[in-house]
Structure 1
Amino acid sequence: MKKLLFFLSLIIIISFPILFTEDKKIQNSFYHWKNTYDLKNTNEKLYIKVLDISFSKKLEYVSTKFNKEPKNSFVPTIYITNETMKKVDYKEIEKLILKQIKRLNTSFEEIQIDCDWSLTSKSNYFNLLQALKKDTNKTISATIRLHQIKYFKKTGVPPVDYGVLMYYNMSDITDFNSKNSILDNSIAKKYHYNFDVYKLKLKLALPLYSQAIWFRDKKPLDIFEGVIKDDFKNHFDKISENIYKVKKSTYFKGRYIYKDDLFRFEDSKYEDLQEAIKDFYSLNVDSFNEIIYYRYSYKNKYNLSQLLKESL
């Protein structure tokens, strides 16, 4: 009898990590971040940008045009500039949002708001989030930046159901000396504070895109998204790990570039994504259940299931 109990106990001990791993289901989903939606036969969970809100001399907005109806339920996502939240009363912004989401010919249970708020816009922005929750009775989520967790006592915690930590765009893209403005884990680690006391469940948003920043005299001129390393095989000299120098004046992606112009190539590298997932998981082991990748058009860049498996 004792031997039987021993073996049963051993089986339970060995099986526990497997049961825990199987129970810990982490979903991969994607942002769709274009002004036109025309995807066919998509089975993935999507966070679709449906509205861009900005402010110049007045409140301005761009609504996403739906040429196709999304196959599955999705999360309408709304981008609002910080300048808008500084200059426009939240009631006017909410009125615009409610009007625009009514035009969506689908049912949804959640609205996500993307705004990098500041101390001067915090009160107005948080009022907007509370009003949306009250008036829609939907799940409300909001994007969070790393600095807004490290310094949450100043920046505040948005009154939403959960947050999405935007684990990219960590350094100044216009600074010639930036290593990789898309994803730099050495910079991210400087903000790994207060996760244990941050009172908001978090999901993780990671980048899949690549880009090149065009410099002249070390001053930024433009950004080319979606470029790959092979684009620099001709007409360029590689002068450092990710810096390329133009050999002679020519056209590049439809733009005329000059001899000696410099390009910094930035990518969402597989090993950097692995490290980011490991770090975030160690900080949020109790609530980590979804990764939202930016963006859908790059979904086949890596085997994301394998990436997740190798990272945890």
Structure 2
Amino acid sequence: MKKYLLLILLFCVLGLFLFEKSNTNNLTYSFYHWENSYNIKQKHEKLYIKVLDIAYSNRLEIIKTNFKIKPLKEFVPVIYITNEAMKKVQPQILATKIIKNLNSSFESFDELQIDCDWSLSSKANYFKFLKLLKTQLNKKLSATIRLHQIKYYKKTGVPNVDYGLLMYYNMSYIGDFNTKNSILDNKVAKKYHYNFDTYPLKLKLALPLYSQAVQFRYKKPLDIFEGVKKEDFKQNFQIQKNGYYKVIKSHYFKGRYVYKGDIFRFEDSKKEDLKVALHDFFAISNNRFNEVVFYRVKYKNKYDLEKLLKGI
């Protein structure tokens, strides 16, 4: 009897392994382009390109991406909207301005994506805004989703869009001196692994490729330096503990002046952490697409992404 039970268990484990392998082998990948100027010669990559930055500070502020090169038709325009703008501006006004900008800038596009980390105070405006966009554009509409918006979706609500793109990064508070890695911390992520089985929106996965250093003075956050590497801390810095570096001589660092005594926390999207994140997402999410969107195209050569997605 024990032998039969062991055989059944072995087949179950083998079946699970083969199922997971078959899923990851079929994955495709694409990239975000997240700068205020677009000047790259796109090859075959599918790109999600930020085209508008929308904020509110006494008045509505809209910054358009400067397209020096025309992107391929397959790209997905993305609009970033701050939570403050979503609270302060009427949904119809916002939708009208966005549609006007899109129509004047692009001949055609099949999908629009909205990136807004909405709150309970902006939820009503945001959901009405999405409904207006969907009706008036008559195109596929997607929205970015954060982990907490799945765990607490009965409270935060579910946007009425065609699908969601789960931002599996920026999951810890960057300004906390004691944060381990605000880009990607799988231990933190696991605290939000709830309700994926009942979340009604089909998901794509977004993973980070970038690195950064957070500058602190007296344990208070001052600045962020994206794209730095560990090698950048070889001179004028002294390693303190895992990921922390102390400035031992005031100097210009990446074009900005830093003072003796400042502390930098180096954060990276490590290959092994990305593998764990990918595995965890596929383990908890059944209602999903086989597409992974990496943030961002600037760092596309950091790893062999095809091997990464296969778990190699």
TM (norm. structure 2) is 0.91
Whether the 8 Å contact between 1:172 and 1:181 is mirrored in structure 2 is: yes
Alignment partner, residue 88 of structure 2: 87
* Cα offset, 1:41, TM superposition: 3.8
Structure 1 distance, partners of 2:296, 2:200, is 27
- CA distance in structure 1 between the partners assigned to 2:186 and 2:42 by the alignment: 35
Amino acid at match of 2:249: K
Q: CA deviation at 1:107?
A: 2.1
1:94-109 matches, within 5 Å, as 94-109=95-110
Aligned pairs (5 A) from 1:18-167? 21=22, 25-167=26-168
Which residue is 1:252 aligned to? 253
Separation in structure 1 between the aligned mates of residue 207 and residue 22 of structure 2, nearest angstrom = 22
Matched residue, 1:205: 206
184-193 or 284-293: bigger deviation: 284-293
Task: Give the match's secondary structure for 2:311.
Answer: helix
- 1:58 CA displacement: 1.0
Please state whether the residue corresponding to 1:159 is helix, strand or coil: coil
- 2:303 maps to which residue? 302
Unaligned runs of 5+ in 2: 1-13
- Aligned partners of 1:73 and 1:106 also within 8 Å: no
RMSD over equivalenced CA pairs, Å: 2.0
CA deviation string 1:38-97 (max 9, x = no partner): 111421000000001111111110011111011341101000000011111100000111
Tell me how far 1:253 sits from its aligned partner.
1.1
Looking at structure 1, the residues matched to 199 and 287 of structure 2 have their Cα atoms a distance apart, in angstroms, of 13
Structure 2 Cα separation of the partners of residues 273 and 144 of structure 1:
18
* Amino acid across the alignment from 2:208: P
AA of the residue aligned to 1:297: K
How many equivalent pairs are there? 298
**1:184-263 paired onto structure 2 within 5 Å:** 184-263=185-264
Contact 2:73–2:109 (Cα < 8 Å) also in 1: no
Contact 1:24 1:289 (C-alpha < 8 Å) held by counterparts:
no
Note if contact 1:43-1:71 (Cα within 8 Å) is conserved in structure 2: no
Match of 1:289 in 2: 290
SS at match of 2:293: strand
C-alpha contact 2:24 2:310 (8 A) present in aligned 1: no
Distance 2:160 2:295 in 1: 24
C-alpha displacement at 1:221, in angstroms?
Answer: 1.1
1:135 is matched by which residue type in structure 2?
A: Q
Once the two structures are superposed, residues 81-120 of structure 1 have per-residue CA deviations (whole angstroms, 9 ceiling, x without a partner) of 0001111110000011101110233421100000000001
CA distance in 1, matches of 2:176, 2:42: 40
Asked if the contact 1:73/1:107 (under 8 Å) is kept, the reply is no
Distance 1:55 1:257, change over 3 A: same
Q: 1:157 to 1:65 in 2, by over 3 A?
A: same
Q: CA deviation at 1:150?
A: 0.4
In structure 2, distance between residues paired with 1:175 and 1:295: 24
Counterpart in the other structure of 1:4:
none
Provide the rounded CA distance (Å) in 1 between the counterparts of 2:261 and 2:24: 55
Opposite residue 143 of structure 1, the aligned amino acid is T
Percent of residue pairs identical: 61
CA distance in 1, matches of 2:108, 2:240: 52
Whole-angstrom CA distance in 2 between matches of 1:279 and 1:208: 17
SS at match of 1:174: coil
Letter in 1 for 2:261: D
The one-letter code sitting in structure 1 at the alignment partner of 2:219 is K
SS of corresponding position for 1:266:
strand
